[in-house]
Amino acid sequence: MSTAPHPDRPAVTAFAAPSPGPLPVVPLTDADVDDLIEMDQLSFNYSVSRAYQDRVTRRLLDPLRFVGVRDHGAGNVLVAASGIYSWGMTFPGDGGGPGTPAAVHPVAAVTWVAVRTGWRGRGLLRAMMRAQLDQLHDGGEAVAILTASEPGLYGRYGYGSAIPRNRAEIAHSGHGTGFQPTVPTPAPLRELTTREAAPLLPSLWDRLAPTMTGHLSRPPAAWAAFLDIDDDDEDDRGGRAIRWAIHPDGFVGYRIRPEWEDSGPKHEVTVSQLVAASPAAFVALWRHLLDLPLTRTISWGSMAIDDPLPDLLVNPRLLRTNRADHVWLRLVDLPRAIGLRGYRAPARVTVDVRDTFCPWNSGRWLLDLETTGGSAVRTDGAADVVLDIADLGATFLGGTPLARLVAAGRVTGDPTALATLGLALSTPLAPSCPEGF
């Protein structure tokens, strides 16, 4: 049988084998968006309709913030990409204590990282990380963040695990689960549909997120993605449409999946977002969730590791948590980044930083940290502390205590300097970020 292509049919380039040899990383443009969306769906095993792409995906992407790789020898197919959302993140502010001002700073939120099957394992991720971090450094962007599909991927590029999170499950009796008696009983909150809540949420978020370390600013396109929910939209597991409860200082969005057993109702609540920026909001939102009729379990995938729920419940054992890494952070430009937050206590410490992937950060720096800000200047002085750039990234928001990295053998130095630096970097409560990206 002949294998020659039929003259009336186009060559089937999709079956062309990957080209051998190096493939360059290039900037992407608007013309790459269709291929980008197609490759992302294949790489992350999902699919969305063309209508959803037009309504949400294309508005969220800025192709000019993407780099990628095309294999011209294999039919010019897009084989790798990595993008950035230009968002803002709340960093610890003046002293980092409750009620003290925090500050929102631009961050490069790295996202949409994928290498097409067939082109993996030949260094394309590494090449894209190289191109992206060089660009960020040249453009003066100080901090990059990401949420990783797999935890082993990004440490080698200097990212440290900065905001962990808990997967939480609360099993309760459904009969007014008790709060500590010293906590005043909150007024009940009204339940809203997405259509009713949507006009209220973005401005509430804009007011609250800058008061909570680790929270991201949400541009209108991100809100459009969060709120692209019909009021009769069920999830894949039979969860009913999202409902909302709103407080002046917080809100919660959740689905309820009805479940009936012979012994009675056992409906499940799944929290999609919960934000509480004051104790009153925290108590009112949890009272609302725990009093939802017929429900017996509440699960939430993004609880802060310092969430005070166990301290509110009379029976803290109702809460089961499973901790995992969540947001990873990379100090792209060490001296610029050090100036972007306030520190819990003053510290003057010389650190010897290893940064094999971004050598411009390597070497000895005198860190001069104050509650109102900090600086890092090059020094020839003896190092008090030796650490990797990923360790500094992990501790930068207060989410990983320096003492833990010392205990793990990752960070070494003079005990007094370690204690001083650890206190300066710490925050009273660990940062939280209620979303992945």
Ligand X SMILES: CC(=O)SCCNC(=O)CCNC(=O)[C@H](O)C(C)(C)COP(=O)(O)OP(=O)(O)OC[C@H]1O[C@@H](n2cnc3c(N)ncnc32)[C@H](O)[C@@H]1OP(=O)(O)O
User: Is 215 within 8 Å of 89 (Cβ atoms)?
Assistant: yes
Q: Does the annotation mark 15 as catalytic? A: no
User: Is 387 within 8 Å of 422 (Cβ atoms)?
Assistant: no
Say how far apart CA 349 and CA 337 lie, in whole Å.
16
148 binds ligand X, rule: CB under 6 A:
yes
What residues contact 49, with CB distance under 8 A and at least 6 apart? none
What residues contact 188, with CB distance under 8 A and at least 6 apart? 287, 288, 291
Q: Which amino acid is at 424?
A: A
Strand partners, 84: 110
User: Is 409 within 8 Å of 391 (Cβ atoms)?
Assistant: no
Q: Out of 154, 157, 179, 343, pick the active-site residue.
A: 154
**Cβ of residue 158: shortest distance to ligand X, in angstroms?**
13
Is 255 a known ligand-binding residue?
A: no
Q: Does the annotation mark 154 as catalytic? A: yes
113 binds ligand X, rule: CB under 6 A:
yes
* CB-nearer residue toward ligand X: 152 or 409: 152
Q: What is the largest CA-CA distance in the chain?
A: 85
At residue 181, the 3 state secondary structure works out as: coil
364 binds ligand X, rule: CB under 6 A:
no
Among 108-116, 310-318, 384-392, 395-403, the segment contacting ligand X (CB under 6 A): 108-116
331 binds ligand X, rule: CB under 6 A:
no
R_g (Cα) of the chain, nearest Å: 24
Terminal CA-CA length for the chain: 50
At residue 105, the 3 state secondary structure works out as: strand
Among 146, 246, 274, 369, binds ligand X (CB under 6 A): 146
**Positions in 152-181 near ligand X (CB under 6 A):** 152-153, 156
- Say how many residues touch ligand X, by CB under 6 A: 22
Is 411 a known ligand-binding residue?
A: no
Among 104, 110, 285, 376, binds ligand X (CB under 6 A): 110
| Residue spans of beta strands (DSSP E) within 116-223 | 143-147, 160-171, 191-193
Burial 179-204 (b: 16+ CB within 10 A, else e): beeeeeebeebeebebeebbeebbeb
Is 382 a known ligand-binding residue?
A: no
* CB-nearer residue toward ligand X: 149 or 185: 149
* CB-nearer residue toward ligand X: 354 or 364: 354
* CB-nearer residue toward ligand X: 113 or 285: 113
DSSP string, 314-361: S-GGGEEEEEEEEEEEEESSHHHHHTTS--SS-EEEEEEEE-SSSGGG
**Cβ of residue 64: shortest distance to ligand X, in angstroms?**
18
* CB-nearer residue toward ligand X: 113 or 281: 113
115 binds ligand X, rule: CB under 6 A:
yes
**Cβ of residue 73: shortest distance to ligand X, in angstroms?**
17
**Positions in 13-52 near ligand X (CB under 6 A):** 43-44
If phi over 0 gives left and psi between -120 and 50 gives alpha, with beta otherwise, what is residue 45?
Answer: left
380 binds ligand X, rule: CB under 6 A:
no
Among 114, 276, 284, 303, binds ligand X (CB under 6 A): 114
Among 76, 149, 412, 416, binds ligand X (CB under 6 A): 149
123 binds ligand X, rule: CB under 6 A:
yes
Is 390 a known ligand-binding residue?
A: no
Is 339 a known ligand-binding residue?
A: no
Among 144-152, 262-270, 309-317, 343-351, the segment contacting ligand X (CB under 6 A): 144-152
Say how far apart CA 129 and CA 356 lie, in whole Å.
13
Interacting residues with ligand X (CB under 6 A): 43-44, 110-115, 120-126, 146, 148-150, 152-153, 156
Q: Which residues are marked as active site?
A: 154, 437
Q: Report the binding-site residues for acetyl-CoA.
A: 113-115, 121-126, 149-150
